[in-house]
Amino acid sequence: MGQKWKLYEVKGGKVRRKNKFCPRCGPGVFMAEHKDRWSCGRCGYTEWKRK
Ligand SMILES: [Zn+2]
């Protein structure tokens, strides 16, 4: 059971799970996070962040 913790990156006491899946490519394809948007490196889909 303790091994599961290694799957997550913990910084500042928070577990980071910020990656989104691409709605076009489907689950399994992560989108890259940029300062003001998310983008898929596979299909080019871009999702702008809201303030
Ligand atoms: Zn995509």
Do the beta carbons of residue 34 and residue 25 sit within 8 Å? no
Do the beta carbons of residue 38 and residue 47 sit within 8 Å? yes
- Pick out the residues of the known binding site for Zn(2+): 22, 25, 40, 43
* Strands annotated E in the chain: 10-11, 14-15, 21-22, 26-33, 37-40, 46-48
- If you measure from the C-alpha of residue 37 to the centroid of ligand 1, how many angstroms do you get, rounded to a whole number? 14
Block means of pLDDT (10 residues each) for the chain, 51 residues, are 54 62 91 92 93 72
- pLDDT given at position 16: 53
- pLDDT given at position 47: 93
Domain residue ranges in the chain: 20-50
Residue 30 C-beta-side C-alpha neighbours within 13 Å: 6
- If you measure from the C-alpha of residue 13 to the centroid of ligand 1, how many angstroms do you get, rounded to a whole number? 31
> From its phi and psi, is residue 39 left (phi > 0), alpha (psi between -120 and 50) or beta?
beta
- Indicate the pTM of the whole model: 0.58
